[in-house]
Amino acid sequence: MELKQNFDLTNYNTFGVQSKAELCSIISSIEDIQNVIEQNKEIKKEIYPLGSGSNILLTQDVDKWVLINQLKGIIVLKENEKEVSLEVMSGEDWHEFVLHTLDQGYYGLENLSLIPGLVGTSPIQNIGAYGVEVKDFIDSVEFIYLESGKVEELDNRYIHFGYRDSIFKNELKGKIFITKVRLTLYKEPKVNVKYRALIDELEKRSIKDPSPKDISDAVIFVRQSKLPDPSKIGNSGSFFKNPIVDFSVLKTLKERFENVPNYPAEEGKVKLAAGWLIEKGGWKGFRDGNVGVHVKQALVLVNYGNGKGVEILQLSNKIISDIETKFGVSLEREVNII
């Protein structure tokens, strides 16, 4: 394991903004993590695990010891006629893992196709799309405490999963490195087709009884048609969470806009579409120099080239303030700001 100094992170964040890490190591084994923890007893730097950089915004150089996750491996723990339990190393690419499960005849994750990031980051924000959340398939998560080197495994019920939320974004934030995720998937298809965009795409394809592969293909097509490719234009996908508000807020909005998109949430609350609010606020397609809001998807902030992280952060601040003023709704960022 080589220790790199002033390491360029431009190619390790999907916004493509320039930033350097004071210290950096490529992690390919759990022993590598343990070695870093031991060495850090003398160096005494904050250790920062980095996945694919798809959910971060770098606004400055990183005065930390950055660990780039390349832990690989997928094994079957147990299986029967109906289910299969898998142990997946945290450095596996999420989308490639979803495609692998479909090839093996393991189902449940098809609606989560093409979500950027690594398997290890999936439980952190409880990734979800088209009516499916990863929390419904995760059995447990294994991790290492970055200070003590202690290895621990948390069962699903103790991870405190919520909407784009978990214990890893709260009590354990900045304290651990996720090493393995254990999931149980179906061996019998149980397709989930609830969202309009997905229904419309399947209808266009004249598919009335979709297979999990059909669902995955449709999800990939819809996401690619709406979201820019990070390799061509810097972005982190959805920049804001869909806000969960009281029914009274929805009622007030409906007095002005009859067809406000909304979805069921926890009791007494409803989920609004952040992209719809931003578009109604007039921000869709907005550009300020090298940064802006994507022309096809208002939920996505983009770096058109040479944009700085702080410029994207400032743009997000303006959007949050404007949406609060115009609609009385507070938007929350989905990305991590560094």
H/E element, 33: helix 30-43
Query: Which long-range contacts link 283-288 to residues 24+ away (Cβ below 8 Å)?
Result: 283/319, 283/322, 288/315
Q: How confident is the model at residue 249 (pLDDT cuts 50, 70, 90)?
A: very high
**Is residue 238 among the annotated active site residues?**
yes
Q: Which residues are registered as beta bridge partners of 74?
A: 88
Class of the CATH domain delimited by 3-69: alpha beta
- Is the CATH code 3.40.50.970 the one for domain 74-186? no
DSSP track, 35-83 = HHHHHHHHH---EEEE-SSTTEE--S-EEEEEEEE----EEEEEE-SSE
Map out the domains of the chain as residue ranges: 3-69, 74-186, 196-224, 234-337
pTM, rounded to two decimals: 0.86
Of the candidates 79, 87, 279, 334, the residue annotated as catalytic is 334
Of the candidates 54, 216, 238, 316, the residue annotated as catalytic is 238
Interval 260-302: pLDDT, tens: 999 888 888 999 999 999 999 999 999 999 999 999 999 999 9
Class of the CATH domain delimited by 234-337: alpha beta
Interval 80-139: pLDDT, tens: 999 999 999 999 999 999 999 999 999 999 999 999 899 999 999 999 999 899 999 999
**Is residue 334 among the annotated active site residues?**
yes
User: In this model, does residue 231 exceed pLDDT 90?
Assistant: no
Indicate the DSSP class of residue 242. Answer: P
**Is residue 330 among the annotated active site residues?**
no
Q: In the prediction, which pLDDT does 1 show?
A: 75
Q: In the prediction, which pLDDT does 196 show?
A: 86
Of the candidates 164, 182, 223, 333, the residue annotated as catalytic is 164
SS3 30: helix
Nearest C-alpha neighbor of 47 from the set 125, 126, 149, 118: 149
Q: What CA–CA distance (Å, rounded) separates 89 from 72?
A: 5
Interval 37-80: pLDDT, tens: 999 999 999 999 998 898 899 999 999 999 999 999 999 999 99
74-186 and 234-337 in the same fold: no
